[in-house]
Chains A and B, each alone.
Chain A
């Protein structure tokens, strides 16, 4: 084949491949634009004032609005007794969010020159920024203690070309009373089976706080196994309590945890079921959700939890009794990361 002909083939191939690539980018970008258009049949949303103060305007849900339109991803609120009613959107966007005691934690994406970066923003009751902390990776979990004094968040770190496909998590704790910031829970001493435990592969995620504003529960992963740990913020220790337990969430009365558990025999990409653990007896009860849930649930009261599952517009919320009875019921469409206030 002559050089001339080879160059001709190359140039035509470049033109063809460039056209295919450009088409894919244009299609993806018009699809992204579509998400900025209000979807017919979606919940009505208007811009308004959103506060995190517990007493304001009765019992409310504050959440990340996933419905398409100009307020997509904004913190929004609805009355707790009318979850499918009209939404009020703030101008604050969050990927993950939680709130309690007049404090909010909002994990945000910051548009960068080329790549987005992420930050954790502590919000006061009027959604004003109290402090901001850069994040090492993609946000996954966020929690505020019941009294609003402690916040915790977890990000995924990794995915760079040299580290291969290994991922790790990093969980940070912030005490708003003292300003003490623990960049990584991995600095806490680990007590496992009565001994101090150390391993380079330790990962923490999914913190949930107790009402004493000092005790917390979280997931510890090491050696291919996950554990429930109870942590003490003052002593800076965590103690393993139980195996195969992820993303615990403590009930308002502090007696039970709902968590996700890897159930053997299920598909490895959807291996989780929800269980409730009674902390007094350490007895486990399966909940009535048959689908795999990859979320840290939120308690609406001492008998019910709410969690997200993938939906038509990102995610929908479902509610479920915590005594193992009943059936999951769709609670809200197009919503993620709810917090119940008041």
Chain B
């Protein structure tokens, strides 16, 4: 995908010192990683261990433990996605408004932690659905304030690395969680209550680490001294760069085939044995985990927009392999590696890019806007792809998605944000003086 990346954008003023990898060697101010980023990464790691423990055993619990038929369950899922998007915008805005991202993130993490013991009490499908909805609310509420804390605590030119570290730690938690859950089930057959109790303890620990070790610094007041208004939050799209970033995230999101379909297509085109099917997401997660930090750093050096689009070219390459198919044994690995690289090059990198396009007092709202646009677009894409699969079959649907994705990437090359972190060359790219004293071109409405 690195090859694809260099093809993706016309190389402007070239990266200086591409070999200067180690932080200490580089002249200028490449600071050590902010302790806040490590603390937030730890919180995410712990929380993901907790939540993925539950996710991993939930189907087993529903079918084997409660004797429920979980088929109708998927229907609720779409509903949650919509709710989660609204909650995310709310969390981002409230964090900005009161300048208290930590408190908002804490409430979000706390809500999700509370859901784990509640699972012990819920024995019917609607009750479990309600608990999971509450869990999603907590997740939606905390995401934007947490990302705002990360971008605010990292030096602008290091944001890619900061988000990379955070996403790697987050994914590590997601990889550890299921293992822990199944170890508990091994020790205690049908010990689902033990899994939920341990999960609750782990979640509580995550909240505690947040409370104790993430500094609750208030962001500086706005230029006028008034709190961030709802109108100002809505006015964020008046900023040219943020508008372009959101638009691109939306466009690319619309051309992204959702994970479940990718894994199904992978199984269709390579004939992977059924028993390995459940492990495919772990392959993607492992690649994401390994590549998040290196690609985040690469984004800081060669430009976040290029890495972001390069990630989509990696996805395009994965589509290509799926379309060509074949039974080479290396094929599934290649697809999962590219799929993980796609996440590593886009998830945190997009946040780092967006962070550079909004002033400090709007970090929460700005990041929430981009995330929400992307999430809704991906949801729509998933519905659309399902329909296309129905009408045309799997391979034609994927071919269409690939063509659309290629077109969207080409368009987004042209829509590249000008200033802010999206630029091509390194030092200028990150050096957006995002302090409140330097309001960016477009004053808040």
Q: Which one of A32, A203, A269 has the greatest number of beta carbons of chain B within 10 Å? A: A269
* Bound Cα distance from A117 to B284, whole angstroms: 21
Say yes or no for B330: interface residue by CB 8 A criterion. Answer: no
Across the interface, which residues of B come within 8 angstroms of A303, CB to CB?
Answer: none
- Within 146-180 of B, Cβ neighbours of A (below 8 Å) are at 174, 177-179
* Nearest opposing residue in chain B for A164, CB measure: B77
Question: Is there contact, CB below 8 Å, between B184 and A25?
Answer: yes
Question: Is there contact, CB below 8 Å, between B193 and A13?
Answer: no
Task: Give 1 or 0 for each of A292-330: 1 = CB within 8 Å of chain B CB.
Answer: 001000000000000000100001000000000000000
Say yes or no for B201: interface residue by CB 8 A criterion. Answer: yes
- Within 33-85 of A, Cβ neighbours of B (below 8 Å) are at 35
Question: Is there contact, CB below 8 Å, between A156 and B59?
Answer: yes
Across the interface, which residues of A come within 8 angstroms of B290, CB to CB?
Answer: none
* Bound Cα distance from A30 to B197, whole angstroms: 16
* Bound Cα distance from A203 to B74, whole angstroms: 13
Across the interface, which residues of A come within 8 angstroms of B185, CB to CB?
Answer: 116
Question: Is there contact, CB below 8 Å, between A269 and B285?
Answer: no
Instruction: Specify which of A32, A156, A159, A163 is in contact with B263 (CB 8 Å cutoff).
Output: A163
Instruction: Specify which of A6, A167, A221, A268 is in contact with B70 (CB 8 Å cutoff).
Output: A167
Say yes or no for A93: interface residue by CB 8 A criterion. Answer: no
- Within 70-88 of B, Cβ neighbours of A (below 8 Å) are at 70-77
Q: A163-B260, A167-B71, A268-B126 are in contact. Are A201 and B281 (CB under 8 A)?
A: no
Instruction: Specify which of A10, A28, A161 is in contact with B55 (CB 8 Å cutoff).
Output: A161
- Within 257-306 of B, Cβ neighbours of A (below 8 Å) are at 259-260, 263, 273-275, 277-278, 280-282, 284-285
Total cross-chain contacts (CB, 8 A): 173
Distance between A25 CB and nearest chain B CB, rounded to angstroms: 5
Question: Is there contact, CB below 8 Å, between B77 and A160?
Answer: no
Across the interface, which residues of A come within 8 angstroms of B60, CB to CB?
Answer: 138, 159
Say yes or no for A137: interface residue by CB 8 A criterion. Answer: yes
Question: Is there contact, CB below 8 Å, between A200 and B273?
Answer: no
Q: A32-B189, A114-B183, A135-B274 are in contact. Are A165 and B198 (CB under 8 A)?
A: no
Distance between A64 CB and nearest chain B CB, rounded to angstroms: 13
Q: A29-B191, A163-B281, A165-B76 are in contact. Are A269 and B184 (CB under 8 A)?
A: no
Question: Is there contact, CB below 8 Å, between B197 and A13?
Answer: no
Across the interface, which residues of B come within 8 angstroms of A162, CB to CB?
Answer: 259-260, 263, 281, 284-285
* Nearest opposing residue in chain A for B267, CB measure: A136
Across the interface, which residues of A come within 8 angstroms of B281, CB to CB?
Answer: 160-163
Across the interface, which residues of A come within 8 angstroms of B11, CB to CB?
Answer: none
Question: Is there contact, CB below 8 Å, between B183 and A165?
Answer: no
Question: Is there contact, CB below 8 Å, between A136 and B277?
Answer: yes
Question: Is there contact, CB below 8 Å, between A32 and B190?
Answer: yes
Question: Is there contact, CB below 8 Å, between A25 and B278?
Answer: no
Across the interface, which residues of B come within 8 angstroms of A25, CB to CB?
Answer: 184, 187-188, 191, 194, 198
Say yes or no for A21: interface residue by CB 8 A criterion. Answer: yes
* Nearest opposing residue in chain B for A111, CB measure: B186
Q: A160-B281, A161-B285, A165-B73 are in contact. Are A28 and B68 (CB under 8 A)?
A: no
- Within 275-305 of A, Cβ neighbours of B (below 8 Å) are at 294
Across the interface, which residues of A come within 8 angstroms of B71, CB to CB?
Answer: 167-169, 203, 221
Say yes or no for B389: interface residue by CB 8 A criterion. Answer: yes
Say yes or no for B413: interface residue by CB 8 A criterion. Answer: no
Question: Is there contact, CB below 8 Å, between A166 and B73?
Answer: yes
Across the interface, which residues of B come within 8 angstroms of A20, CB to CB?
Answer: 197, 201
Question: Is there contact, CB below 8 Å, between A166 and B56?
Answer: no
* Bound Cα distance from A221 to B70, whole angstroms: 13
Question: Is there contact, CB below 8 Å, between B182 and A31?
Answer: no
Question: Is there contact, CB below 8 Å, between B205 and A17?
Answer: yes
Say yes or no for A92: interface residue by CB 8 A criterion. Answer: no
Across the interface, which residues of A come within 8 angstroms of B174, CB to CB?
Answer: 161
Question: Is there contact, CB below 8 Å, between A165 and B67?
Answer: no
Contact-size category for B: 35 or more
Contact-size category for A: 35 or more
* Bound Cα distance from A160 to B386, whole angstroms: 19
Across the interface, which residues of A come within 8 angstroms of B277, CB to CB?
Answer: 136-137, 157
Task: Give 1 or 0 for each of A1-28: 1 = CB within 8 Å of chain B CB.
Answer: 1000010011001100110110011011
Question: Is there contact, CB below 8 Å, between B126 and A310?
Answer: no
Say yes or no for B208: interface residue by CB 8 A criterion. Answer: yes
Say yes or no for B213: interface residue by CB 8 A criterion. Answer: yes
Across the interface, which residues of B come within 8 angstroms of A178, CB to CB?
Answer: none
Q: A24-B194, A28-B191 are in contact. Are A159 and B179 (CB under 8 A)?
A: no
Say yes or no for A108: interface residue by CB 8 A criterion. Answer: no
Q: Which one of B68, B198, B213, B394 has the greatest number of beta carbons of chain A within 10 Å? A: B198
* Nearest opposing residue in chain B for A24, CB measure: B197
Across the interface, which residues of A come within 8 angstroms of B426, CB to CB?
Answer: none
Distance between B383 CB and nearest chain A CB, rounded to angstroms: 11
Distance between B60 CB and nearest chain A CB, rounded to angstroms: 6
Say yes or no for B58: interface residue by CB 8 A criterion. Answer: yes
Across the interface, which residues of B come within 8 angstroms of A116, CB to CB?
Answer: 182, 185
Question: Is there contact, CB below 8 Å, between A114 and B182?
Answer: yes
Distance between A106 CB and nearest chain B CB, rounded to angstroms: 16
Question: Is there contact, CB below 8 Å, between B275 and A136?
Answer: yes
* Nearest opposing residue in chain A for B194, CB measure: A28
Q: A21-B198, A160-B281, A165-B77 are in contact. Are A198 and B390 (CB under 8 A)?
A: yes
Across the interface, which residues of A come within 8 angstroms of B14, CB to CB?
Answer: none
Say yes or no for B418: interface residue by CB 8 A criterion. Answer: no
Distance between B442 CB and nearest chain A CB, rounded to angstroms: 37
Across the interface, which residues of A come within 8 angstroms of B191, CB to CB?
Answer: 24-25, 28-29, 31-32
* Nearest opposing residue in chain A for B386, CB measure: A200
* Nearest opposing residue in chain A for B205, CB measure: A17
Say yes or no for A234: interface residue by CB 8 A criterion. Answer: no
Across the interface, which residues of B come within 8 angstroms of A167, CB to CB?
Answer: 59, 70-71, 73-74
Task: Give 1 or 0 for each of B24-61: 1 = CB within 8 Å of chain A CB.
Answer: 00000000000000000000000000001001101110
Across the interface, which residues of B come within 8 angstroms of A138, CB to CB?
Answer: 59-60, 63-64
Question: Is there contact, CB below 8 Å, between B259 and A163?
Answer: yes
Nearest 7 interchain pairs by C-beta: A28-B191, A159-B59, A136-B274, A28-B188, A24-B197, A28-B194, A29-B188
> Which residues of B does A touch, CB under 8 Å?
52, 55-56, 58-60, 63-64, 67-77, 124-126, 132, 174, 177-179, 182-191, 193-194, 197-198, 201-202, 204-205, 208-209, 212-213, 259-260, 263, 273-275, 277-278, 280-282, 284-285, 386, 389-391, 393-394
A/B interface sample: 28 pairs, CB < 8 A: A6-B212, A17-B201, A17-B204, A21-B194, A24-B193, A25-B184, A28-B187, A29-B191, A31-B188, A32-B191, A135-B275, A140-B63, A157-B274, A160-B280, A163-B260, A165-B70, A165-B74, A165-B132, A166-B74, A167-B71, A200-B390, A267-B126, A268-B72, A269-B126, A294-B67, A294-B68, A294-B69, A310-B67
